[in-house]
Structure 1
Amino acid sequence: MKRIIYFITTICLSVASATAQQIEHVVLVSIDGFRPEFYKDNTMPTPNIQWLAEQGVNAKGVKTIFPSVTYPSHTTLITGTLPYQHKVYYNTTIGEDGNPGQWIYDSKSVKAPTLWQAAKQQGLTTAAVSWPISLHNDFIDYNIPEIWNFKQPMDRLSATLKYAHPQGLFEEILTKAIGEVDQDKYNLSSLAMDQNLGRAAVFILEEYKPNLLTVHLPNTDGAQHAVGREGIEVKRAIAGADFVIGSIIDALKRSEIYEQSLIVITGDHGFVNTSMSISPNVWLEDAGLAEQAYFFSTGGSAFLELKDKADKHTVRKVKQMLLDLPMRYQDMFELIEEDQLRARGSKQGVSLAISARAGYSFSNKKEGEILSATKGGKHGHYPNNPEIFTGFIAFSPVMKQSKQLEIIHLEDIAPSIAKVLKLALPQADGTSVLGGVIK
């Protein structure tokens, strides 16, 4: 009888201990161009992602920022703030001619506190693999930044070897995890890129067990730019990302930290199919307004940038010009006015933008035809179109229940992670969406 009582008592203590277990490790994976269909549609080649969605928390969609492009979105993901706070408005700077300038890559460009910073302030360890704008970040202990040789953009190897932190980390990953690789297997031209980034993430997990690991997988974005929302190339790319997710799950188990871990899978934007490109700067040229302003294209949208930031008169003239266009042109886009821009925290000083309707995108061209044929997919649109929504999944073995959320916001994700790890993000614009499902 005593043996039975002892056995039952031991089981109860074990269950109580497991129930009280706290999450000490978070892996945040951003799949570039991640769409809710990738876990909602069971015909998609994503068994790991679908399993996590079924067992954990998933959202019907995530309303992204404006413009819905990669670098500003990833900065919102890591800060919980909108662009008006973190100050990353586009993927690039704007050149003197109004065309895209230098890619924004240095962490000094981010003006809001990050999850990495909050984690370090709590004495936790941090890591990042290919996360946008992570170069020279003092709050990342193990950092494989997203960087390339600007004179030879296909060469990411030499730049990563130069800027990985600590020195020698990438050489260790190449030796022990990736193996001998040439630049064609470590750039966006190859589906091997996601696999090699996954191997780097798995190595860091097993070797260093960081409390916070952020990973960016870019291949699904490139596939959708090339062929649009559907097609075998998209399925191949998302299948590759799914394989990486499975590898991360296995690594957490091998490292014996699976029971104390939270896996978050999300993205930066969705995609819209396009077949025609609009050149709105040609309209400005024709209207005699090109000396006062220009439209800066982000693909699915274009922002009216003023030569004189206080020139509201030109804004009114441009708006009226757009409203006076023939209806066949007006049907191709929608006006985004100041209240909508402020609602999604867009760039201060910009009070007018245009967002393309389905089938259309924008270019920065200042002369030539208004319309030109294009193909593939674009993003950058104002996030009132569900096709531009990204997705969200969160799973931990200590979750109380599975749950489907309604539409959440991109800025909610960092506060959700912060709450789980007991971090402070006081400037965040979003709020945690994991209340009630994690002990």
Structure 2
Amino acid sequence: MKQIPKRVMIVSFDAVGAKDLEYLQTLPNFQRFFEQAALCSHVNSVCPSLTYPAHTSIVTGRMPKNHGIVNNTKIQPNRKDPDWLYHRKWIRSTTLYDEAKKKGMTTAGLLWPVAAGSRMDYYVPEIMVTRKWQNQILMNATNGPLFYQLDLNKRFGQLRNGIAQPQLDNFIQACALDTIYKYNPQLFLLHLTDVDANRHLYGVESKEAKEALKRHDKRLGEIVRALEETGEMESTTVVLLGDHYQKDVDKVAFVNHALWKAGLLTVRNGRIKSWKAYAKNCDGSCYIYLHPSVENNAEVQKCTRKVLETLKGREDFGIERILTREEAANMGADENCFLMLEAKEGWFFLDEWEQLTAAEKDCAHGMKGTHGYLPGEADYQTFFAMSGCSVRAGARVEKNIALWDEGATLAALLELDLGKTDGSVIREMLQ
């Protein structure tokens, strides 16, 4: 008879990929974990491979086009800093933590994306403040359990320095350990972003990224120790995973500048005021949307395609590939887009309509690594590993899987019903 874990700890290491596994297995705590774990090192991220769509696929077992989180941020052409898709209400399906709660399990989540306003028992939502009148602590307090968050901020808030790393993960790690010891949740979703932040700032193979991986090893050891001290490990399952990888970048493509020059969007006082076509960046890829009032206008469609084909033909511009709406949807991306763009190696996209100088571009993005590219390349994959109760110790899955397969597998592990999923259960990893 199958044993259902009484406790599942899921740790997401943002931007940690399959290429990191060789190094991770030289570190003591990761080495100890992987020796007993079932592992798949061929995991394709979502399309586009961004943090919010990725983490939503992990907890729903669905592609972005079906769970509704198709980007990190909203389509708001008139805003310099668009709002992030942080709230649970924007997910169009049930989740692992919803179903666990229905089953009577205690649930927790720290900085797990798109979980603000959820019904988890103990959680700190990940909310990016984008408006001058917003206060980070107040935004978090009004979108999650108030007294739980106030207590954590009172005792560990001095560890944090805004969203700077490693301070943010040091704060979240202290919160995680405290939550394990005090509440011992049965389903715990933890999101750590140290590596992602350092790869953005310094590059994929930078010494800063490697130092972040070392810090994650220490954090893993502390988490496992806390679990060992608070419960029976024979009825506990620990899950480690990545959401996407990154690529090094040094060039930015501003598609909206070309759309503006073609008269497909208008600008007033430095802001986009109206548009027929709009380029919404996903970092390494880019959605092209047509305004609902002209989305069936053949002339607008033709003009937009012509602009993009011209850009793609330029050696000094960063478009590698133009996908149709159908091609994008088949990969799980937003089926409401008109087209989708894939960046060339070393390039990524931004939303700005102005054509910036080289110096201004450096100042505008300040990134040496990023993600958001179309999934599928072997060097761009991430990983999925489980160890403990109901897991086939030492199993190695060589086939390619997707993040939504992880959601289906985690649901099967806990015997939770996610309804209709796009994912398949990875039976090779389960007893």
TM-score, normalised by the number of residues in structure 2: 0.87
Paired residue secondary structure (1:345): coil
- CA distance in 2 between counterparts of 1:267 and 1:336 reads 26
Deviation at 1:421, TM superposition (A): 0.7
Which residue does 1:5 correspond to in 2?
none
What is the CA deviation profile of residues 340-361 of structure 1, one whole-angstrom value per residue up to 9, with x for unaligned ones?
Answer: 3112221121131111122111
Paired residue secondary structure (1:391): strand
Candidates 397, 400, 407, aligned match of 1:414: 407
Which residue does 1:147 correspond to in 2?
127
Which residue does 2:259 correspond to in 1?
284
- CA distance in 2 between counterparts of 1:299 and 1:153 reads 27
Which residue does 1:314 correspond to in 2?
300
Please state if 1:71 is matched with 2:52. Answer: yes
What is the CA deviation profile of residues 268-314 of structure 1, one whole-angstrom value per residue up to 9, with x for unaligned ones?
Answer: 21101001111112222334434420211121111101013334553
What is the CA deviation profile of residues 362-394 of structure 1, one whole-angstrom value per residue up to 9, with x for unaligned ones?
Answer: 121223259755650111111133343222111
Please state if 1:196 is matched with 2:196. Answer: no
Which residue does 2:342 correspond to in 1?
355
Inter-CA distance 232–89: structure 2 relative to 1 (3 Å threshold): same
Paired residue secondary structure (1:215): strand
Inter-CA distance 35–278: structure 2 relative to 1 (3 Å threshold): same
Which residue does 1:389 correspond to in 2?
381
Paired residue secondary structure (2:82): strand
Q: Report if aligned partners of 2:253, 2:318 keep a CA contact under 8 Å in 1.
A: no
Inter-CA distance 267–401: structure 2 relative to 1 (3 Å threshold): closer
Deviation at 1:77, TM superposition (A): 1.4
Which runs of structure 2 are paired with 1:265-344 in the superposition (5 Å)?
Answer: 265-290=240-265, 291-307=275-291, 308-311=294-297, 313-325=299-311, 326-329=313-316, 332-344=319-331
What is the CA deviation profile of residues 224-264 of structure 1, one whole-angstrom value per residue up to 9, with x for unaligned ones?
Answer: 11011011110122222222211111111101232111111
Inter-CA distance 292–118: structure 2 relative to 1 (3 Å threshold): same
- CA distance in 1 between counterparts of 2:430 and 2:337 reads 40
Deviation at 1:401, TM superposition (A): 3.2
**Letter aligned with residue 339 of structure 2:** L
Deviation at 1:133, TM superposition (A): 1.7
Which residue does 2:157 correspond to in 1?
181
Q: Report if aligned partners of 1:315, 1:352 keep a CA contact under 8 Å in 2.
A: no
Paired residue secondary structure (1:27): strand
Deviation at 1:399, TM superposition (A): 3.3
- CA distance in 2 between counterparts of 1:394 and 1:52 reads 9
Candidates 399, 419, 428, aligned match of 2:421: 428
Which residue does 1:208 correspond to in 2?
183
Paired residue secondary structure (1:346): coil
Q: Which runs of 5+ in 2 are unaligned?
A: 266-274
Which runs of structure 2 are paired with 1:19-30 in the superposition (5 Å)?
Answer: 21-30=3-12
Q: Report if aligned partners of 2:248, 2:346 keep a CA contact under 8 Å in 1.
A: yes
**Letter aligned with residue 413 of structure 1:** E
Inter-CA distance 426–39: structure 2 relative to 1 (3 Å threshold): same
Inter-CA distance 245–294: structure 2 relative to 1 (3 Å threshold): same
Inter-CA distance 246–90: structure 2 relative to 1 (3 Å threshold): same
Q: Report if aligned partners of 1:148, 1:159 keep a CA contact under 8 Å in 2.
A: no
Inter-CA distance 418–313: structure 2 relative to 1 (3 Å threshold): farther
Count of matched residue pairs: 413
Candidates 14, 20, 32, aligned match of 1:51: 32
Inter-CA distance 37–210: structure 2 relative to 1 (3 Å threshold): same
- CA distance in 1 between counterparts of 2:290 and 2:69 reads 18
Deviation at 1:150, TM superposition (A): 4.8
Paired residue secondary structure (1:53): helix
Deviation at 1:416, TM superposition (A): 0.9
Q: Which runs of 5+ in 1 are unaligned?
A: 1-18
Inter-CA distance 196–369: structure 2 relative to 1 (3 Å threshold): closer
Larger Rg computed on CA atoms: 1
- CA distance in 2 between counterparts of 1:375 and 1:229 reads 11
Deviation at 1:332, TM superposition (A): 4.5
Inter-CA distance 26–153: structure 2 relative to 1 (3 Å threshold): farther
- CA distance in 1 between counterparts of 2:297 and 2:420 reads 31
Inter-CA distance 104–232: structure 2 relative to 1 (3 Å threshold): same
Which residue does 1:13 correspond to in 2?
none
Q: Report if aligned partners of 1:61, 1:391 keep a CA contact under 8 Å in 2.
A: yes
- CA distance in 2 between counterparts of 1:148 and 1:334 reads 31
Q: Report if aligned partners of 2:112, 2:126 keep a CA contact under 8 Å in 1.
A: yes
**Letter aligned with residue 414 of structure 1:** G
Inter-CA distance 258–310: structure 2 relative to 1 (3 Å threshold): farther
Deviation at 1:327, TM superposition (A): 4.5
Aligned residues: CA RMSD: 2.7
Inter-CA distance 77–21: structure 2 relative to 1 (3 Å threshold): closer
- Percent identity for Structure 1 against Structure 2: 24
Which runs of structure 2 are paired with 1:115-264 in the superposition (5 Å)?
Answer: 115-138=96-119, 140-147=120-127, 150=130, 156-157=136-137, 159-161=139-141, 163-165=143-145, 167-173=146-152, 179-182=155-158, 185-264=160-239
Deviation at 1:174, TM superposition (A): 5.1
- CA distance in 2 between counterparts of 1:341 and 1:413 reads 21
- CA distance in 1 between counterparts of 2:30 and 2:134 reads 30
Larger mean Cα displacement after TM superposition, 411-420 or 184-193: 184-193
Inter-CA distance 432–420: structure 2 relative to 1 (3 Å threshold): same
Which residue does 2:16 correspond to in 1?
34
Q: Report if aligned partners of 1:39, 1:53 keep a CA contact under 8 Å in 2.
A: no
- CA distance in 1 between counterparts of 2:51 and 2:416 reads 25
